[in-house]
């Protein structure tokens, strides 16, 4: 009887373990340079209304999903036409390299806004250029509920007005092989 009880407990425990939701990393590969919103953020798929995965849609989807997500951004110029790109969760963006992957705000807004959104995210931005922001290439903001840590590696920040990088209280930026040039 005792053995049966132990066996039942083990099976119950194993089934419970299997059913625990695990926040898995999703990887989204951007396949359009168009600046379009995700049609349904949080459904696990990066897809705009035309079923393309834009940089904006990938970020919106990754923000909505639990877990650390990776965005692959191939070579190309990604011209922002809607607004800045707002990152509020653990996200890694990997460009092809800083000469060929360009995120360009067309002098209309910021390029990236990173904010804590109560979850103290780690944000990694690698191998790309951030350019032509009219209000900071990246602005790291703090809303008194968490701390944002932004890691830039092999990144160029250039030709932005009001500064290239803006880092507020309680947030951190870690720069490795980053050129901040011709910002004013
Ligand atoms: Ca979606
Ligand atoms: Ca996420």
Compute, in angstroms, the gap from residue 111 CA to the centroid of ligand 2. 19
Instruction: Return the pLDDT at 13.
Output: 44
Instruction: Return the pLDDT at 115.
Output: 84
Instruction: Return the pLDDT at 118.
Output: 66
Give the ligand whose atoms come closest to the C-alpha of residue 65. 2
Compute, in angstroms, the gap from residue 156 CA to the centroid of ligand 1. 29
Instruction: Return the pLDDT at 143.
Output: 67
Give the ligand whose atoms come closest to the C-alpha of residue 40. 1
Q: Note whether 124 and 102 are within 8 A (CB).
A: no
Instruction: Return the pLDDT at 117.
Output: 66
- Per-residue model confidence as pLDDT tens digits over 56-75: 999 999 999 988 999 999 99
Tokens 């809607």 -> residue: 82
Query: Which of the residues in the chain have pLDDT under 50?
Result: 5-21
Compute, in angstroms, the gap from residue 28 CA to the centroid of ligand 2. 11
Compute, in angstroms, the gap from residue 59 CA to the centroid of ligand 1. 10
Task: List Cα–Cα distances, 120 to 69, 87, 104, 124, 143, in angstroms.
Answer: 15, 11, 26, 13, 10
Compute, in angstroms, the gap from residue 39 CA to the centroid of ligand 1. 6
Q: Note whether 63 and 41 are within 8 A (CB).
A: yes
Instruction: Return the pLDDT at 6.
Output: 47
Name residues whose C-beta falls within 8 Å of residue 162's C-beta, 6 or more positions apart in sequence: 133, 134, 135, 136
Instruction: Return the pLDDT at 9.
Output: 47
Instruction: Return the pLDDT at 171.
Output: 86
Instruction: Return the pLDDT at 29.
Output: 98
Compute, in angstroms, the gap from residue 115 CA to the centroid of ligand 2. 13
Give the ligand whose atoms come closest to the C-alpha of residue 41. 1
In degrees and rounded to multiples of 5, residue 97 shows phi and psi of -165, 170
Task: List Cα–Cα distances, 95 to 4, 29, 40, 91, 179, in angstroms.
Answer: 56, 10, 24, 13, 16
Compute, in angstroms, the gap from residue 95 CA to the centroid of ligand 1. 21
pTM of the model: 0.86
Instruction: Return the pLDDT at 66.
Output: 86
Give the ligand whose atoms come closest to the C-alpha of residue 89. 2
Pairing status of strand 112-115 against strand 85-87: parallel
């Amino acid at each position: 009887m005792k053995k049966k009880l132990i066996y039942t407990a083990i099976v119950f425990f194993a089934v419970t373990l299997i059913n625990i939701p695990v926040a898995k990393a999703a990887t989204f590969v951007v396949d359009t340079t168009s600046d379009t919103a995700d049609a349904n953020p949080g459904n696990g798929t990066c897809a705009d209304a035309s079923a393309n995965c834009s940089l904006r849609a990938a970020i919106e989807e990754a923000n909505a999903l639990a877990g650390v997500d990776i965005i692959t951004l191939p070579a190309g110029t990604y011209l922002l036409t809607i607004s800045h790109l707002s990152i509020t969760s653990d996200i890694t963006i990997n460009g092809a390299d800083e000469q060929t992957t360009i995120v360009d705000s067309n002098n209309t807004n910021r390029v990236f806004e990173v904010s804590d959104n109560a979850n103290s995210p780690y944000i990694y931005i690698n191998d790309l250029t951030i350019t032509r922001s009219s209000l900071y290439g990246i602005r790291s903001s703090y809303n008194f509920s968490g701390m944002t840590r932004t890691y830039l590696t092999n990144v160029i920040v250039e030709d932005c007005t009001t500064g290239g990088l803006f880092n507020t209280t309680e947030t951190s930026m870690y720069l490795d092989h980053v050129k901040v040039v011709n910002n004013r």
